[in-house]
Amino acid sequence: MNAIQVEHLCKRFGTVTAVNDVSLTVREGETFGFLGPNGAGKTTTIRLLTGVLTPDAGSVRINGIDIHRHPLDAKMQMGVIPESSTVYGDLSAEQNLHLSAKMYGMPRAVREKRIDEILLQLGLNEKRRLLVRTFSKGMKQRVSIACAIIHRPRVLILDEPTSGLDVQSRRLVIETIHHMNEQGSTIFLTTHNIEEANTLCQTVCIINKGKIVAQDSPERLKKMFDTTQSVEVSFDRTVTRDLFAAEGILRAEPCGDKWRLYTDNPDWVLKYLVGCAERESLGITSLTTSGPSLEEAFVHLTECA
Amino acid sequence: MMKVPLFLRGILVITGKNMRLYYTKPPVLMFGVLFPLFMFFAFFVGRHLDLTTFFPAFLAMMLFFTASSVGPLITPWEKREKTYERLLSYPVTQDSIILGDVTAGAIFGIGISLLVWIASALFIPVAVMNTGLFVLAFILGTLSCAALGVLLASPAADSPPNVMIFSNLIRFPLIFISGIFVPLVDMQGWGLALAYCSPLTYLVDLFNAAMSGKSAFSPFIDCGVLILVSAWFILAARVIQKRNMMKGM
């Protein structure tokens, strides 16, 4: 059975079509990445998936249950982490979790055990009785995640869960997503971080201007645009762009203290760079090649659409 | 089909959440507790009025302000804090949220007004002639006033101060046309016509019937009107909030 089944979903706000005939399928146990530029319709789609908004047309099924016909049953299957850390600042972390658990109808004994477990897991145990409004953004996000997974949902929906977080909090969030996925939860997440989607997701869907423009595995999406590869090089001295004015190099971009050279033929570029280094008496301090990136595919798809 | 236990649980949890979070918010204390007390001092104290005669009207005013002060704050506050979206993603319906907000307002109204009634009974010889009617007045009064409070918050966006100003714009005129400061029997013409349109008039009348036995309308009419306006306020809030959902919250 599919964990999420979306068919011909449409949502208009006045004259603006935010979501235009979106259909997608998320298999059970899958981590599904939903990417798109700002204003592409990601958050509106999430709000439609979670029953927060009512669609103009189309249907959403969560584990086979239509969310707009049977919202309570469908929502029981889900945990949702909205875009911003939406927890009650005037309640403590523990009180927020109690509230969430009560919403899902967890009995007191089960609730208390699970809250202890989850506060430890997310590193919140020592601050469990402090008001959430005193927390940092990262800690608020952890409380938000804890509220969403308190009832061990079969489907976890996250809207940009790592946006604006420091490295430690980001890692913890990603670990938690991995952990939930390993325990059998299906993950649906939106992110701006292409690398995150590349490493976390089995399937990636790209939305632009309210329409799905691609849906496939990250590797297959990259291969759709496999004509360009890149070589990154850095030298022991500063060099100018003129050094890379060669027929086999399509484009050269400075990238920190390195240069990224786009080419159809990385083998030729490597030999060319070694030749240049010998001729100009340059020392090569690093040299790496990489295949097409998901970012390239994303940019291509969202620019062309 | 609606799952009744899930639906009722939603109302209960939301009511508890509202009681914990919003009863001590400054706008609720200001407009729900302090304001009606100041009105009492301004209009009744030092004016050689028979407090026993005016007490039912004062109690109705207290109930009106307390019960209708929580509702206008909850939804805008939650929208501003972005907790409303999470609330909607929980297994609760919008109806549970509305009824949870109404219940929280009603409990606040009953609690504070009962305290005022008990405290007043120590100083003013207030009697209750019909206990059943008195209890009914409390229940129907808090229900209709709390429902009005929730309705007042429904069209608004995410600014609690704007909603409080809007709700006071509606609530303040009502206390002057509902037989609180000028008894219904002394009203004439437009004043009387307006009084008939105010639901607060029927609450004042019901308290008069319960406490002094003197009322302008039959208690059946008072109760009927209060039930009808409560239902209308809740339904209107539901329609407006559903429309907001279609427009994108």
Residues whose CB falls within 8 Å of the CB of residue B170, separated by 6 or more in sequence, listed in order: B148, B152
H or E, element range at A122? none
What pTM did the predictor assign?
0.83
Residue B91 is nearest to which of A72, A84, A99, comparing CB atoms?
A: A72
3-state secondary structure of B137: helix
Quick one: pLDDT band at residue B249, thresholds 50, 70, 90? low
Phi, psi of B157 (to 5 degrees): -90, -120
In tens, the pLDDT along A231-244 reads: 889 999 888 888 88
In a 13 Å sphere around the CA of B25, the CA atoms on its Cβ side amount to 24
Say what the pLDDT of residue A59 is: 94
Amino acid at the residue A22: V
Amino acid at the residue A34: F
H or E, element range at B213? none
Rg (CA), chain B: 18
Quick one: pLDDT band at residue A194, thresholds 50, 70, 90? confident
Residue B89 is nearest to which of A13, A50, A87, comparing CB atoms?
A: A50
Quick one: pLDDT band at residue A34, thresholds 50, 70, 90? very high
User: Nearest-CA neighbor of A109 among A121, A119, A98, A122?
Assistant: A98
Say what the pLDDT of residue A234 is: 92
Class of the A229-304 domain?
A: alpha beta
In tens, the pLDDT along B117-136 reads: 888 888 877 788 899 999 99
Q: State the count of interchain CB pairs (< 8 A) between A and B.
A: 82
Quick one: pLDDT band at residue A49, thresholds 50, 70, 90? very high
Region(s) of chain A under CATH 3.30.70: 229-304
3-state secondary structure of A261: strand
Say what the pLDDT of residue A14 is: 85
Query: Cβ distance B78 to B84 under 8 Å?
Result: yes
Mutation target vs B (from A72, A151, A157; most B CBs, 10 A cutoff) = A72
Quick one: pLDDT band at residue B1, thresholds 50, 70, 90? low
Residues whose CB falls within 8 Å of the CB of residue A254, separated by 6 or more in sequence, listed in order: A241, A260
B167, pLDDT greater than 90 = no
Region(s) of chain A under CATH 3.40.50.300: 2-217
A193, pLDDT greater than 60 = yes
Q: Which residues of A touch B (CB under 8 A)?
A: 13, 44, 47, 50-54, 71-73, 75-76, 78, 80, 82-91, 95, 99-100, 102-105, 144, 147
Architecture of the domain made up of A2-217 = 3-Layer(aba) Sandwich (3.40)
C-beta contacts of A105-109 below 8 A and 24+ residues apart: A105/B6, A105/B9, A105/B91, A106/A150, A106/A151
Rounded to whole angstroms, what are the CA distances from A101 to A13, A183, B91, B247?
34, 19, 11, 30
